[in-house]
Amino acid sequence: MKHYQVGYTTGVFDLFHIGHLNILRKAKTQCDTLIVGVSSDELVRNYKNKQVVIPFEERRDIVAGIRYVDQVVKQDNMDKLKAQEKLHFDVVFVGDDWKNTPQWDQYEKEFNKRGVDVVYLPYTKETSSTQLRETLNIITGEGKIG
């Protein structure tokens, strides 16, 4: 397994769960410095068409408190190439559920030109924030959260 200087990954990290921790832990084993982009509330509303349960500032603080994370940045847009220009990472970590998608196939081509690797990490299928929301809705008998 190749080792990198600066790694980057992103996420919403709403209703933080073991899948989030697994991605951060596995990413950190492959780089000296791990930078994590936490999606802003506005980005989540616009990109995922969802309302977060936990506000950005709290999600940012939770992620910053994880020992595998060296730096947290606010993710205001989905442009990973601009993030690389600003943060100078040499690897980007992403869940393997994105592998072989048109979006990430294109990112791989562009990052390859810059000498940046894309590493796909196992997505935890058993747990997701969406599943947690659905479970909470069943337990509380309330309508859809976000």
Instruction: Judge residue 70's burial from the number of C-beta atoms within 10 Å of its C-beta, 0-12 exposed, 13-18 middle, 19 or more buried.
Output: middle
pLDDT tens-digit series, residues 64-102: 999 999 999 999 999 999 999 999 999 999 999 999 999
Position 142 scores a pLDDT of 60
Question: Minimal CA–CA distance to 4: which of 112, 135, 115, 113?
Answer: 115
At 63, the amino acid letter reads: V
* Per-residue tokens: 101: 């998608």
Per-residue pLDDT tens for 17-34?
A: 888 999 999 999 999 999
Q: Please confirm, yes or no, whether 48 is among the known catalytic residues.
A: yes
Q: Which of 2, 26, 48, 99 is catalytic?
A: 48
Residue 135: pLDDT band (50, 70, 90) is very low
Choose the CATH number for 4-140 among 3.40.50.620, 3.40.50.2300, 3.90.1300.10, 3.40.50.800. Answer: 3.40.50.620
CA distance 44 to 129: 13
26 given a catalytic annotation: no
Question: Highest mean pLDDT range out of 37-51, 60-74, 112-126?
Answer: 60-74
Write the pLDDT tens digit of every residue in 48-57. 888 899 999 9
DSSP string over 115-143: T-EEEEE---TT--HHHHHHHHHHHHT--
Annotated catalytic residue, options 28, 50, 99, 109: 50
User: Can you give the pTM of this predicted structure?
Assistant: 0.85
Helix axes 80-87, 102-114, angle to 10 degrees: 30
